[in-house]
């Protein structure tokens, strides 16, 4: 029995070490079905959806999101990892701003490739274990499971926050059929701080930990498929044309975090130099620039809409 526990601890430690070796900043393990906090987070999701705070993001309603076991048969553990995307070359001093998470390579592909390498390691080190990769395109209660695995806590701006890496990282997961040694779930360290809530220009953080999507700049610049952006949002865009970093930029936990200055996170040149001349780009030019990034989710006509909305707002300020 003691030997079995020691073996479980050892393979769990090696798995997390392998994740760090592959380039992830943080790694942790949670047992399935998880602690009572998973049920609490699931209920919070249900309340959020019942109030239509997800707006047009209907995929958030997937029942599978409420049960990790429905994603993979015989699931017993989940490895949670965080990939830091903040780069010293990130620049949002331009008039037109792009959220940091999307300035480099498509993080979905980057994370998937690294997780696949971990999977190959699992095949060699734990041959009796089956596994499944999940990134944020999977119906998984991502941040709740990352919190359960101890790699951070869900902040009042709904982002996952790590003591060392702040919130500048995206998440990845491997669900395993092996019973591994879980890490201690992370406790919230936001305390009485409300800086993110106070600084949101559209008041999208309607209460601590709750985002009303149809008030969020990121939602409207990335997900909104309407031909125009609501006037209340437009007048508060402040240059944002793809996402928004305001609630992260002001977070005290993000004041001093390590950069990930590799090619995967290095901003594309066109993003660093984005200006109103891009309104003259045809669809082919946009598609060439967007290739290999998460930003291709924003269609060329949406880019033009977002850019024009910022120009309209700037004109109004000076008229």
Query: Which one of 106, 128, 136, 179 is the catalytic residue?
Result: 136
Residue with tokens 């002001």: 250
Q: Using only C-alpha atoms, what is the Rg of the chain?
A: 20
Which segments of the chain are extended strands (E)? 26-31, 77-84, 97-98, 131-134, 153-154, 160-161, 169-176, 205-207, 210-211, 240-242
- Contact (Cβ atoms closer than 8 angstroms) between residue 30 and residue 36: no
Residue 81 bridge partners (DSSP): 27, 172
CA neighbor of 265 nearest in space, from 114, 100, 135, 115: 100
Euclidean distance between CA atoms 319 and 314, whole angstroms: 9
Residues across the chain: 319
Instruction: Using the CB atoms, write b or e for 227-265: b if 16+ within 10 Å.
Output: eebeeebbbbbebbbbbbbbbbebbebbeebeebeeebb
* Residue 136: active-site member: yes
CA neighbor of 257 nearest in space, from 105, 20, 82: 82
List active site positions: 136
């Amino acid at each position: 029995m003691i030997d079995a526990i020691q073996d479980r601890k050892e393979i769990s430690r090696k798995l997390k070490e392998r994740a760090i070796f592959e380039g992830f900043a943080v790694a942790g393990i949670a047992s399935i079905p998880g602690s009572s906090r998973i049920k609490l987070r699931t209920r919070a999701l249900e309340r959020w959806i019942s109030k239509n705070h997800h707006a047009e993001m209907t995929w958030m309603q997937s029942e599978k999101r409420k049960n990790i076991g429905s994603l993979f048969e015989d699931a017993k553990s989940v490895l949670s990892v965080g990939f830091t995307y903040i780069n010293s070359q990130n620049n949002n001093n331009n008039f037109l701003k792009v959220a940091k998470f999307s300035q480099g390579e498509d993080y979905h592909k980057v994370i998937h490739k690294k997780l696949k390498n971990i999977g190959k390691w699992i095949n060699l080190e734990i041959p009796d274990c089956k596994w499944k990769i999940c990134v944020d395109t999977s119906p998984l209660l991502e941040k709740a499971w990352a919190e359960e695995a101890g790699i951070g806590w869900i902040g009042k701006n709904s982002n996952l926050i790590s003591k060392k890496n702040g919130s500048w990282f995206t998440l990845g997961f491997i669900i395993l059929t092996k019973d591994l040694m879980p890490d201690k779930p992370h406790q919230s360290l936001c305390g009485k701080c409300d800086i993110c809530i106070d600084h949101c220009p559209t008041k999208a953080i309607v209460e601590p930990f709750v985002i009303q999507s149809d008030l969020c700049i990121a939602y409207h610049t990335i997900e909104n498929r309407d031909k125009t952006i609501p006037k209340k949002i437009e007048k508060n865009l402040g240059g944002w044309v793809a996402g928004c970093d305001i609630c992260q930029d002001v977070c005290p936990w993000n004041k001093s975090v390590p950069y990930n200055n590799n090619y995967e996170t290095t901003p594309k040149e066109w993003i660093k130099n984005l200006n109103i001349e891009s309104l003259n780009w045809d669809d082919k030019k946009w598609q060439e620039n967007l290739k290999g990034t998460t930003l291709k989710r924003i269609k060329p006509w949406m880019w033009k809409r977002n850019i024009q909305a910022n120009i309209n707002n700037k004109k109004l300020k000076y008229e």
